Structure 1
Amino acid sequence: MNDEQQYSDEVVETEEADEALETDETVPYEGGRRRKKRGVSGCLAVIVALAVLVGGFYVAVTRGVDWVSDQFSSAEDYPGPGRGSVTFEVEEGDTTAEMGRNLKAKNVVASVQAFLDAAAADPDSAGIQVGFYELKKEMKADDALEVLLDPGNQVKSTVTVPEGMRVEDVVTLLGEETDFGAAKWRKALTQDIGLPDYAGGNPEGYLFPATYEIGPKDKPKDVLTAMVARWRQAADDAGLEEAAAELGKTPAELMVIASLVEAEGRGDDMPKIARVIFNRLDGPGDKAGTNGLLQIDASVNYGLDQELGVALTTEQLQQDTPYNTYTRAGLPPTPIEAPGDDAIAAAADPEPGDWYYYVTVDLATGETKFAETYDEFLTYKDEYTEYCTTSDAC
């Protein structure tokens, strides 16, 4: 073979090998092994990987730009003044951010950030109180914050229970002053409202007289429980249970005495009236002619299921009930009404003295005179009779 022919054959072999590499077939090479072609799939994987990396970089950069934009642009806010009505609750432990999220959820504010910005600009924003507030939808964040900062804007009703009310009177009052009827209040009284064991399940005397706030979510049981809790505060302040042990009474008996003091006295006279009751219960001999009879009209009325201040007839005074303190010595079985702070304190700490009688000689001023003997009592009684001849109060 000449040189030209050899060169031509080599060129042909090289071209054939190149053609084989461009097909799906394997090509032989020296040594008898076969190798597969190099197609486009490997290159495509590299291209796809690069595309994913570039795309991820783009998303990251885009989000970063958006975040930076949010920090340096004004938060979305409604122009106000708003529309409709929304009852919004601030709960115990709520942070400003939580309030903002809850406000946005109710469509009160346009964005959480708008509320946060308003709060950050107001040094009083940390003073928002727990409660319910009447707001509007689509309010300007500054306006919503202003409403929340004023406790006077809280949505609530108040009920004032005065001293000296029986349970039945309290139930009637609550039924009239709230959205719950008297029947629901009576039913709530059968539930656990926190009464002390020595109340024997009877709420008489333990629904403390005070002003109570009733929120939109409060139920009768909640309010009654709050009333008993307020009684507990008054009892603890007076040292009721400790005083009972020192005075030789049970806490339940002191509560009965407190209810009688509430029915009979006022102000500075209450500790003296409490002493009269203790003297009649525990004094020596015939107890200055009283023989242990308390002779308290309000208790008799309670036993007759009539208003406690009603004037009693001779016949009514003779009707024997467990509450008739004219026919039965000692205390009635339960309180007859709800005593307040002063009456409970008086029962727990009666003023020292030897009085067995008292007479209110001026109904307008409440002036009351205390007597150690029956004769002294008759003198004060005559003074009262004289008063009634010149006064329309009797």
Structure 2
Amino acid sequence: MLDDEGTTQTSERSYAPEGGARKAKKRRNPLGIVAVVVVVALVCVGLYVGVSKGVNWVQDQFGSAEDFSGPGTGEVIFEVREGDTSAAIGRGLKEAGVIASVEAFISAATADTRSSKIQVGYYPLRKEMSAVDALEVLVDPANQVKNTVTVPEGLRVVDIVDILAEKTEFSRAQYEAALKDTAALGLPDFAEGNPEGYLFPATYDIGPKDKPKDILAKMVARWRQAADDVQLESRAAALGYTPAELMTVASLVEAEGRGDDMAKIATVIYNRVENPGAGTGGKLQIDATVNYALGRTGTIAVTTDETLTDHPYNTYVVQGLPPGPIEAPGEEAMAAAGNPAEGPWIYYVTVDLKTGETKFTDSYDEFLTFKAEYKSYCTTSDAC
């Protein structure tokens, strides 16, 4: 080879390493190849098992695309619960034997916008229905199986039990037995096991599977909702009373007032309790408490002799608040008890029983004038 200057140059050669000829290329060990194959096979088996289990889990949760045809047979009472999704409803339907698969129900629900408004309640379905037919029942609230019971404000436990026994298939004795299980009712600790005042007045849907304890517990739960709405505990603390005392005041307000007058009546109650030297000597002198002491329901005029009845609930005899509520107050009365009106009033007289017109004063002489007005009204009205 010539270099740049034209001289001859000897080319270099590669030589084998010391020790002789170049080493031969290393041969693979057959055992190693087998080990690799085994590992790969195990990985494949593991993946297959994992995927199979995953598929099986999904199928267990959501079922296959299988679907029944036709309207089904027999009868199933199915409950849709608060917070149920389409998948949850589908799983429940499959478990009850109503539909063949969860997937079929989800597909039907996805295709029907009404499915987003399925209401909580009980529905009459059949075994082995098509998913579409089952959904058609559930989207119509008119299909619900229920018994509607309305409990008005101002009733005592004995009156409420009478209504429930009349409107449901359970007896008075069954409700009275359920009332003894105060833990199951969910009463607040400050009620001290006494349900009087805590069976909230409202309209209730009684489901076909509801038992007396379930119905009564619904009423207490509804009371809890109302108590939270009116901030019962915090309002009681702000006024210097316990929640139990505020509920007692609310029951008296329910018995004595209506509408805008409720907050004024609450004020009269607090003024009488907190100012024993003003007018009534710290006694509430509310006729409804006398009727409660005598075990009488409804609005009944009390006699002078009856106001002398020796009983802890008779506020003509005992100073301050009675030991507990005398009836179930509604949310309006509870709110009024927690938010009394500003005023010096000590007395009030309802001068017109038909309209409920009530007059308030802190003057005893004016109070006597109101009483005379009431008596005059009674001579010309059949409402007294």
2:56 alignment partner in structure 1: none
1:133 alignment partner in structure 2: 123
Q: TM-score, normalised by structure 1?
A: 0.73
Q: Name the CA distance, whole Å, in 2 between partners of 1:111 and 1:243.
A: 52
Give 1:123-272 correspondences, 5 Å limit: 123-137=113-127, 139=129, 141-191=131-181, 192=183, 193-272=185-264
Structure 1 stretch displaced more, 178-187 or 297-306: 178-187
Q: Name the CA distance, whole Å, in 1 between partners of 2:223 and 2:88.
A: 35
Q: TM-score, normalised by structure 2?
A: 0.75
Q: Kindly indicate whether the alpha-carbon contact (under 8 Å) linking 1:84 and 1:136 is maintained by their aligned counterparts in 2.
A: yes
Q: Deviations over 1:122-151 (max 9, x none)?
A: 233343334321124565543322111122
2:302 alignment partner in structure 1: 312
Q: CA deviation at 1:252?
A: 1.5
Q: Kindly indicate whether the alpha-carbon contact (under 8 Å) linking 1:297 and 1:308 is maintained by their aligned counterparts in 2.
A: no
Give 1:282-301 correspondences, 5 Å limit: 282-283=274-275, 285=277, 287=278, 289-301=279-291
Q: Kindly indicate whether the alpha-carbon contact (under 8 Å) linking 2:350 and 2:357 is maintained by their aligned counterparts in 1.
A: yes
Q: 1:357 aligns with which of 347, 369, 375?
A: 347
Give 1:51-66 correspondences, 5 Å limit: none
Q: CA deviation at 1:258?
A: 0.9
Q: Name the CA distance, whole Å, in 1 between partners of 2:94 and 2:227.
A: 45
1:61 alignment partner in structure 2: none
Q: Name the CA distance, whole Å, in 2 between partners of 1:97 and 1:241.
A: 39
Q: CA deviation at 1:240?
A: 2.1
Q: Kindly indicate whether the alpha-carbon contact (under 8 Å) linking 2:352 and 2:374 is maintained by their aligned counterparts in 1.
A: yes
Q: CA deviation at 1:352?
A: 0.9
Distance 1:111 1:279, change over 3 A: closer
Q: CA deviation at 1:200?
A: 1.5
Q: Kindly indicate whether the alpha-carbon contact (under 8 Å) linking 2:276 and 2:283 is maintained by their aligned counterparts in 1.
A: no
Distance 1:298 1:136, change over 3 A: same
1:276 alignment partner in structure 2: 268
Q: Kindly indicate whether the alpha-carbon contact (under 8 Å) linking 2:282 and 2:320 is maintained by their aligned counterparts in 1.
A: yes
Q: CA deviation at 1:323?
A: 1.4
Q: Deviations over 1:169-197 (max 9, x none)?
A: 11222122112211121111121122222
Q: 2:334 aligns with which of 321, 344, 350?
A: 344
1:375 alignment partner in structure 2: 365
In structure 2, stretches of 5+ residues that fail to align are 1-64
Code of the residue aligned with 1:78 in structure 2: it is S
Code of the residue aligned with 1:88 in structure 2: it is F
1:21 alignment partner in structure 2: none
Distance 1:147 1:392, change over 3 A: same
SS at match of 1:216: coil
Structure 1 stretch displaced more, 228-237 or 357-366: 228-237
Structure 1 stretch displaced more, 121-130 or 364-373: 121-130
SS at match of 2:291: helix
Q: Kindly indicate whether the alpha-carbon contact (under 8 Å) linking 1:276 and 1:356 is maintained by their aligned counterparts in 2.
A: yes
- Percent identity (aligned): 65
SS at match of 1:226: helix
Q: Name the CA distance, whole Å, in 2 between partners of 1:376 and 1:264.
A: 20
Structure 1 stretch displaced more, 367-376 or 224-233: 224-233
Q: Deviations over 1:60-99 (max 9, x none)?
A: xxxxxxxxxxxxxx9655344x555332233456554564
Q: CA deviation at 1:283?
A: 1.9
Q: CA deviation at 1:229?
A: 2.1
Q: CA deviation at 1:348?
A: 1.1
SS at match of 1:206: coil
Q: Does 1:330 align with 2:320?
A: yes
Give 1:20-99 correspondences, 5 Å limit: 77-80=68-71, 84-91=74-81, 96=86, 99=89
Q: Name the CA distance, whole Å, in 2 between partners of 1:356 and 1:294.
A: 10
Count of equivalent residues? 318
Distance 1:140 1:332, change over 3 A: same
Q: Name the CA distance, whole Å, in 2 between partners of 1:219 and 1:244.
A: 34
Q: Kindly indicate whether the alpha-carbon contact (under 8 Å) linking 2:276 and 2:282 is maintained by their aligned counterparts in 1.
A: no
Q: Kindly indicate whether the alpha-carbon contact (under 8 Å) linking 1:356 and 1:372 is maintained by their aligned counterparts in 2.
A: yes
SS at match of 2:265: helix
TM-align CA RMSD: 2.5
SS at match of 2:365: helix
Q: Kindly indicate whether the alpha-carbon contact (under 8 Å) linking 1:78 and 1:109 is maintained by their aligned counterparts in 2.
A: no
Q: CA deviation at 1:218?
A: 2.2
Q: Name the CA distance, whole Å, in 1 between partners of 2:306 and 2:87.
A: 67
Q: Name the CA distance, whole Å, in 2 between partners of 1:209 and 1:341.
A: 9
SS at match of 2:198: coil
Code of the residue aligned with 1:159 in structure 2: it is V
Q: Name the CA distance, whole Å, in 2 between partners of 1:76 and 1:246.
A: 61
Q: Does 1:387 align with 2:372?
A: no
Q: CA deviation at 1:217?
A: 2.5
> Which entry has the higher C-alpha Rg, 1 or 2?
1
Q: CA deviation at 1:157?
A: 1.8
In structure 1, stretches of 5+ residues that fail to align are 1-73
SS at match of 1:267: coil
Q: Name the CA distance, whole Å, in 2 between partners of 1:343 and 1:112.
A: 48
2:20 alignment partner in structure 1: none
Q: Name the CA distance, whole Å, in 2 between partners of 1:93 and 1:120.
A: 17
Q: Name the CA distance, whole Å, in 1 between partners of 2:82 and 2:225.
A: 22
SS at match of 2:340: coil
